[in-house]
Amino acid sequence: MDPEKFRHDVSRYERPTERYRCGRGAEWRDPCAFGPNAKGQCGGTSDCRPAKVGDRYECRRPAFAGGPCAEGPKPDGACAHQRPPCRPRRTIRSLRGLIALSAFTLVIAIIATFLTVSQSSSRAVLSAGPLTGGHANFTAKSGCVACHEPHGADTGGWALAAFREDDLTARCITCHTFGGDPRLGHNAASDRSPRGREVQCTDCHTEHKGETFDIVKVGDEACNACHKQRVDSFGENHAAFKPSFPHDRRTSIMFDHVSHMAKHFADERVKTLAPANCASCHEMQGAETFVRPKSFDESCVGCHADVIATRELVLLRLPEFSESLLDKERVMEVCGPTLEQWQMMMESMSGDSDMATMRGMMTEETEYESVSSEEASAISAYLLGMPPDDPDDLTMQGFVWGLILEGEAPIAELIDARAGRKVSDRLLAGLNPELVRRVACAWAANIEYQPPNDPEFGGWYGDGLELKYRPPRANSHVDSVAYEWALFAAASAKEGDEALIDFAADMRNVVLGRTEGVGACTKCHAVSNDGEGGLTVEWRYAEAQSRPFTGFNHPRHLTLVDPEGVNLMNPDAGCRTCHKLNEAAQYQASFDGHDPHHFESNFSAISKETCAQCHNAGQVKQDCKTCHNYHLEPGFDLRMMSDAK
């Protein structure tokens, strides 16, 4: 840039911040070199003001006016080029100031007028129009002040209200509640904009348009005001769906549609039990965004009822001991003689042996050989804090002796200690203390426990070297004991001693294992991270929460595809018009880990093109609110009811 551009003798810049400019410049665009003064008087009638140099005068006309003239100054030093004086004009800045001052004066005058009229006349003048039905009913008692705070203020408040914007959003959220910050776009911060854009309720919702006006209805232009990608047509410029849409998270129940329909339902042995269509297993009545599956007793019991009772829980297993540390005489005194000892006593009674001799014969020390060659159960290893393949003889046999004296109490104490609270009453529900004593007495005598009968109806029972639980055979698949043990295992030892954490992991693998877990619970129910370092079993159907601003109305679409009248195996009709099976998906492998987001659905993703077949220009509506919600978890604060009375 030329640094001499704005020199006083070169530039025609007329100082626009001054109140006046040259009248010649306003009319002929040929301003004089000096311009008007601050009072609006003409600054000069000559082209220049000659300067005396020696005994002569020199012309000082600036370059933008033509430079020094040929005539030069007159002998008396006056400029040879004289013009009549002009009438200076006001600059634009000065005119704007006058207009602003006039507007301010007018506003003050109007406010003063409103404050002097009667109350009824004031309301009529100030009314912006009738409210919508819902707001009119709610604000009938308090009037305008219910939303507009200045209406209840004094004269000073009215005057201040003219110079500041009324925060209507603050009044809206006294009744309306949201799942996030109401002043954020969509009431939630996004990954790309953690704080988001500050919004006001009035950005989208306008009042005072009459009782029947739909204040909730918002056009696409409101969405396009914030979103960079403008969407004029769903089929043409809406963004493509994610590659996994809508399967962002694995299901809470592991049900492989591919294997069931292609293999299991085709089996002649269960053909009569196979569902006829999607509606056989899914609740079509009341379906909205999600279509819930029917219960186990309605859909699965025909094939899977017997599986539950075959999966037992081994609470205790007698491990192999290197030596017996229990007092045989004390054991016999508390437990009584075993069958073998009783027979020996009967044989001795036929001779001349006295009781002391017989007791000595039965408690005589012989070379010890453990009746068990097994490892301790994973549960007892965790409870006692010792390796299942190398338990401490003294600790383990002392535990057995505690069972003889107190029944299930030592087990309950260990469970509550590991859980950090009282839970043993639920985990050991139905466990008979006498059963525990009898099993422990047999083990103390180094023999296997022989149950008096077969526990065909389930419950707690002892068998040989094990004390275990079998879910009862019943019509319902819910078993409270199996459920509690699954919860206990999932929450066990998140942190602490490294060895104990390993024992807890082994126990979880047993209790929650798909192939051997009690009740076969996790054969179907997913085991997932709980977000706090532990695990949780997903017992109930869970609706996806990953897209809180997107909805889908199944009822309207189900009338088009006839879910009850189309065979499942027809890939081109029924629910499978949109939900198509993906036979190549590694569905079951998705449940091997505990990350619910590491998932591959056995249904193919739904693309934008699938929806655009109908939702397009000239066909089905395609505005933003057809599929998208703006607010996050909108609701009402019930306290507003008391305020309205």
| pLDDT of 356 strictly over 60 | no
At 233, the pLDDT band (50, 70, 90 cuts) reads confident
User: Where is average pLDDT lowest: 348-357, 416-425, 521-530?
Assistant: 348-357
Q: DSSP readout, 248-304? A: -S--SB---HHHIIIIITT-GGGTTTS-SSGGGTB--TT-SSS-PBPPHHHHTHHHH
Lowest mean pLDDT among 52-61, 562-571, 602-611: 562-571
Residue 151, number of CB atoms within 10 A of its CB: 18
* Greater pLDDT, 616 or 3: 616
With respect to residue 272, please indicate whether it lies within any of the assigned structural domains: yes
In this predicted model, what pLDDT tens digit does every residue of 545-576 receive, in sequence order? Answer: 778 888 888 888 877 777 766 555 455 567 88
Report the pLDDT value the prediction gives residue 120, as an integer from 0 to 100: 46
Residue with the bigger pLDDT between 367 and 398: it is: 398
At 276, the pLDDT band (50, 70, 90 cuts) reads confident
Which pLDDT band, with edges at 50, 70 and 90, does 219 fall under? Answer: confident
Highest mean pLDDT of the ranges 205-214, 312-321, 533-542, 608-617: 312-321
Give pLDDT, residue 358. 46
Which three-class secondary structure state does DSSP give residue 535? strand
Q: What is the pTM of this model?
A: 0.67
Q: Which domain, by its residues, includes 362?
A: 327-367
pLDDT (average), residues 260-278: 85
Question: 30 or 522: which carries more pLDDT confidence?
Answer: 522
Q: Is residue 358 part of a domain?
A: yes
Average pLDDT for 586-606: 89
Stretch 118-123: mean pLDDT, rounded? 48
pLDDT band at residue 10 under the 50/70/90 scheme: low
Claim to verify: residue 490 and residue 530 sit in the same structural domain = yes
Residue 582 domain-assigned? yes
**Per-residue pLDDT at 394 exceeds 60:** yes
Predicted local distance difference test score (pLDDT) of residue 118 = 47
At 253, give phi and psi (nearest 5°). -110, 130
Domain for residue 514, yes or no?
yes
521 and 406 in a common domain: yes
Is 453 among the domain residues?
yes
| pLDDT at res. 410 | 96
Strand partners, 536: 528
**Local structure of 193: helix, strand or coil:** coil
Q: Are residues 453 and 318 in the same domain?
A: yes
Residue 83, domain member (yes or no):
yes
Query: Confidence band (pLDDT; 50, 70, 90) for 417?
Result: very high
Both 505 and 522 in one domain: the answer is yes
630 in any annotated domain: no
Q: What is the pLDDT of residue 475?
A: 58
Assess whether 523 and 481 both reside in one domain.
Answer: yes
Mean pLDDT, residues 532-537: 85
Over residues 19-47, mean pLDDT: 77
Q: Is residue 145 within 8 Å of residue 152, measured between CB atoms?
A: yes
More confident residue, 546 or 516: 516
pLDDT at 362: 47
Residues 353 and 386 in one domain: no
Same-domain pairing of 502 and 569: no
Q: Of 503, 520, 537, which residue sits at a domain end? A: 537
**Is residue 598 within 8 Å of 249, Cβ to Cβ?**
no
Is the model's pLDDT at 338 over the cut of 50?
yes
Cα separation, 356 vs 268, in Å, equals 70
Condensed to tens digits (0 to 9), the pLDDT of residues 462-499 reads: 999 999 999 987 656 889 999 999 999 999 877 778 88
Q: Are residues 434 and 487 in the same domain?
A: yes
Q: For residue 161, what are the CA distances in angstroms to 123, 153, 157, 208, 548? A: 16, 9, 6, 19, 38
pLDDT, greater one: 196 or 370? 370
d(Cα 170, Cα 189) in Å, to the nearest integer?
19
What pLDDT score does 507 carry? 94
Helix H or strand E segment including 313: strand 313-317
Residues 399 and 465 in one domain: yes
Question: How many domains does the chain contain in total?
Answer: 4
Q: Are 199 and 181 in contact (CB under 8 A)?
A: no
Contact indicator for 338, 440 with CB cutoff of 8 Å? no
What residues does 635 pair with on adjacent strands?
177
pLDDT at 7: 58
Give the pLDDT score at 384: 94
Indicate whether 285 belongs to any domain: yes
Same domain, 398 and 503: yes
- 382 and 499 housed in the same domain: yes
pLDDT digits (tens, 9 = 90+) for 618-634: 888 888 888 888 898 88
Does position 307 have pLDDT exceeding 90, yes or no? no
HSE-CB for 343 with a 13 A CA cutoff: 2
| pLDDT tens digits, one per residue of 72-104 | 888 888 888 888 888 888 888 888 888 998 998
pLDDT of residue 221: 83
Contact 436, 408 (CB under 8 A): yes
Residues 274 and 383 grouped into a single domain: no
Average pLDDT across the chain, whole number: 82
Q: Helices 328-335 and 355-362, interaxial angle, to 10°?
A: 110
More confident residue, 25 or 284: 284
Q: How far is CA 75 from CA 45, 49, 54, 59, 376, in A?
A: 18, 13, 13, 12, 129
pLDDT of 163 strictly over 90: no
